Amino acid sequence: MREDIHHLLVDAGRARWTYKEKRGKRKKSKSPQRDHITPLIRFLHSRTGQPWSKVHGEISSRYRGRRNLHSNHVWDHVWGLVEEKPLSYDPPYHSNGYPLFYPNLYVDQHGILRSAPRYKYPPKKQDSDLFRRDGKVYLRIEGIWYCMGQEEEVEREWRGHCYRLSIFRLRPRHQTWIEAARAKVWSPRSKRQLSKKELKALNLR
């Protein structure tokens, strides 16, 4: 373990000069203090597969207990990343009851340091009523497909509509133009119904 890890974890902030227009004076200030725990995360993950007692001893040889502020800071981050007594191991759960994900680590039933799995984001739901091709947007409303025109032009037209409403201190009932078009509250000027030939060419039938 690096001996200067406590210097890497804490950034005291950089002094810089700021200029205030009202007073016309320069003032020296500091950026806020920040923590950089990436070096510690890299160290702990490089020791996965090893006995936790060995890794713990390696850290303790450099930082014995909580003798000073540096030791306290390092150990606070270590215990924030490593769970010694998880509720379950497959999948790993924290002792407080929430699941563990990367970059957290845990100690398994054999005393080995393990890395928690990465969080798997749920797949995005595909909108079967919305279709895009060659910059154009096609929308199905009540079972009928419409060509709304070029997406950039439709977005520009929708922003203009929202701006006109804001002049009268009104808000659009829907956040996006797609929601408004489906609710038949608003539609672009270029909206037109697709013919059978176009539906066949776009494979939308």
pLDDT attached to residue 47: 92
Residue 10 · residue 35 · CB < 8 Å: yes
pLDDT attached to residue 72: 80
Q: Domain limits of the chain?
A: 5-16+29-115, 130-201
pLDDT, one tens digit for every residue, the chain (205 residues): 666 666 666 554 454 555 554 455 555 555 555 667 788 888 899 999 999 999 998 888 877 766 677 778 788 888 889 998 888 888 888 888 888 888 899 999 999 999 999 888 776 555 678 888 888 999 999 889 999 999 999 999 999 999 888 888 787 888 889 889 988 889 999 999 999 999 888 888 7
Residue 138 · residue 149 · CB < 8 Å: no
pLDDT attached to residue 107: 92
pLDDT attached to residue 168: 81
Residue 84 · residue 92 · CB < 8 Å: no
> CA-to-CA distance for 178 and 148, rounded, in angstroms?
10
Q: Strands 15-20 and 10-11, how do they pair?
A: unpaired
pLDDT attached to residue 105: 92
- Those residues with Cβ within 8 angstroms of residue 159's Cβ, 6 or more apart along the chain or in another chain: none
Task: Say whether 63 sits in a helix, a strand or coil.
Answer: coil
- List Cα–Cα distances, 137 to 20, 101, 141, in angstroms: 49, 38, 13
pLDDT attached to residue 172: 82
pLDDT attached to residue 24: 54
Q: Which of 64, 55, 61 is nearest to 84 (CA)?
A: 55
pTM of the model: 0.50
